[in-house]
Chains A and B, each alone.
Chain A
Amino acid sequence: MNRFRRNKNQVSMEINTASLPDLIFTILFFFMITTHLQPVFNKMKVDVPTATELQKLQEKSLIVYIMVGKTDDTRALHATSLQLNNEIILLEELPEKLKTVKSGITEEDQSKLTTVLKVDKTIPMGLVNDIKAHLREAGILTIHYAAKK
């Protein structure tokens, strides 16, 4: 009885929101650390092929992105186009551009470079092989062929 009366007299409790910003910031930092922003933007349509044996991309840094796809631009010279990281290039320019990419990286890390090859499924293998030959010449030997389930 005594207890009941005491509760009645008390001022209703309010939840202290002072720690709310800290809480939200913690969640924010979690997301900032665990997620990675898309480093490269597709400037073309790439419909990657399907495959069953898929591996996730392990290393998220030290990556060279090469995209081969169809251009939306009807005035373009070629029906297909090649994109290295963020710029659209010609196949002939590839060895030189790869050199520029490698020059910005230390000797030790150069061997760890991985190419993510995002190629449209309708692209003929001849073009893919040319790119592979250039990569091999440049000493970038690990390739990750992008594919989906």
Chain B
Amino acid sequence: MLEGGFTFRKSKKQRPGISSSASADIAFLLLVFFLITSSLESQTGIYRRMDAPAAEKALKKRAPVLDRNLLELALNEHSQLIYNDSVFALENLRELSQTFITNPNHVDFLPETPDKHVIRLQISRDADYQSYLSVLSELHASYSPIHIYETEAAKGDNP
């Protein structure tokens, strides 16, 4: 009885508020956690859009592509780029595809208009992935400086 009265009196005297000094520390801990676990650098890569299976069938039905509109490339089993039946240096690919796409001198063996061109890339099953991405990257590069993105749809890589 006496003891109870004592504690009652004590609690009325000093009611301790919640100390907020530790909340800064807690927030700091969370902050550090997020700083460490988050990946600030975003993932990089190359975007590609494949044709839907239905579109593929439609493509097969249409009129064959004229020779002058077609650039045929291949990646052989040794991961070498083949153009005109001979090994082609990857460094020259950008220039080749750029002249092919734009046809700057309007010669009669290159595409009539840029939007009609088709690049066909044939890939051996044994070619490695790095060589494929290098070719893809170079082809992408040949599109970007001349701003003809709409012709991307005409570009098909038929494996």
Contacts and interface: CB of A to CB of B under 8 A. Distances in A.
Given A21-B24, A37-B38, A142-B47, A27 B137 contact: no
Given A25-B27, A117-B45, 11 more contacts: A31-B34, A38-B37, A48-B45, A52-B138, A56-B43, A116-B43, A125-B124, A126-B126, A136-B52, A142-B49, A143-B50
B7 interface: no
Interface in A119-149: 119-126, 128-129, 132, 135-137, 139, 141-149
Interface of B: 20-21, 23-24, 27-28, 30-31, 34-35, 37-40, 42-53, 75, 123-130, 132-134, 136-138, 140-141, 144, 159
B23 A52 contact: no
B67 to A, nearest CB: 26
A147 B138 CA distance: 13
Chain B CB within 10 A, most for which of A53, A117, A148: A53
Contact of B126 (A28, A117, A124, A142): A124
A62 interface: no
Given A129-B123, A132-B159, A136-B50, A53 B141 contact: yes
B46 A145 contact: yes
A133 B37 CA distance: 35
Contacts of A32: 34
Contacts of A135: 50
17 contacts: A17-B21, A18-B20, A35-B34, A35-B38, A37-B38, A49-B133, A52-B137, A54-B44, A55-B47, A56-B42, A121-B128, A124-B129, A125-B75, A135-B50, A136-B51, A141-B49, A145-B48
